[in-house]
Amino acid sequence: MASLSQPTVLIVEDETSQVELLKFNFEKSGYNTLVAMDGEEGLLQAEEHTPDLIILDWMLPELSGIEVCRRLKRNETTRAIPILMLTARGEESDKIRGLDTGADDFVVKPYSVKELLARARAMIRRSNPIQSGEVVSYGDITLDSDQHKAFRDGKLIKLGPTEFRLLSVFIGRPGRVWSRDQLLERVWPHDLDIDLRTVDVHVGRLRKAIKQPGKTDPIRTVRAAGYSLDLDV
Ligand code: CA
């Protein structure tokens, strides 16, 4: 199958030397990187690009890392993105506060870059299993990326390559709402001329293929926001 785009990591950190260290090492390991030097900028970039992982510094000027984390987890667009917090203080109470706010993991400064990369990789794999070529299921929908096949309730769903990629994106994060721009970025990473309406057309085809007699339509259209794979509504 055509490989999905490289994972993107958003680094939210105000210290230039830290930013450079992280950027250099993530890029060397095959990630795309985005950088925000303060919390507000971090929130904007997270919403606009929906990265696969956010590295978030605890000590930021103005909006603190904790507050950024809280807002990311309250926003429907960004809530599913895993957050790895960096903290200079190793105190347990901070760690607990951070985890309460929704941070998914913690690394205490000064950290080993190797360890941080290993944790980052594991977090991305957990949140987006499809990138590692596994068989992924959500409800009665199953996607086998090695065989390039999708099933509903055990029955093969016939999908074109674009619809397959769309379903791969959706099933990696069920319940998450994707804007058409975000889908464009993921499904057509190298096509710059694709119209947003093309996204609607392919989502429509995917919906038709996946909707079987007597079964619910799992693709939710969220007005003014986008689409989501969601069996719970
Ligand atoms: Ca800092």
What's the whole-number mean pLDDT along residues 4-27? 91
What's the gap in Å between 5 CA and the centre of ligand 1? 30
Q: pLDDT digits over 12-22, tens only?
A: 999 999 999 99
Contact residues for 168 (Cβ-Cβ < 8 A; gap 6+): 4, 130, 143, 145
- Residue 1 belongs to a domain: no
Tell me what pLDDT residue 200 has: 95
Can you say whether residue 125 is alpha, beta or left, with left for phi > 0 and alpha for psi between -120 and 50 degrees? alpha
Phi, psi of 42 (to 5 degrees): -60, -45
> Can you give the residue range of the structural domain that contains 74?
8-127
* Judgement on whether residues 120 and 138 belong to the same structural domain of the protein: no
Q: pLDDT digits over 138-182, tens only?
A: 999 999 887 889 999 999 999 998 999 899 989 988 888 888 888
> What is the chain's mean pLDDT, rounded?
86
What's the gap in Å between 103 CA and the centre of ligand 1? 16
- Residue 3 belongs to a domain: no
What's the gap in Å between 16 CA and the centre of ligand 1? 9
pTM score above 0.75: no
Tell me what pLDDT residue 206 has: 96
What's the gap in Å between 17 CA and the centre of ligand 1? 10
Distance CA(146)–CA(201), nearest Å, equals 26
The last residue of one of the domains, among 63, 94, 127, is 127
Tell me what pLDDT residue 90 has: 61
Phi, psi of 14 (to 5 degrees): -95, -10
174, 140 contact by CB (below 8 A):
no
* Judgement on whether residues 13 and 116 belong to the same structural domain of the protein: yes
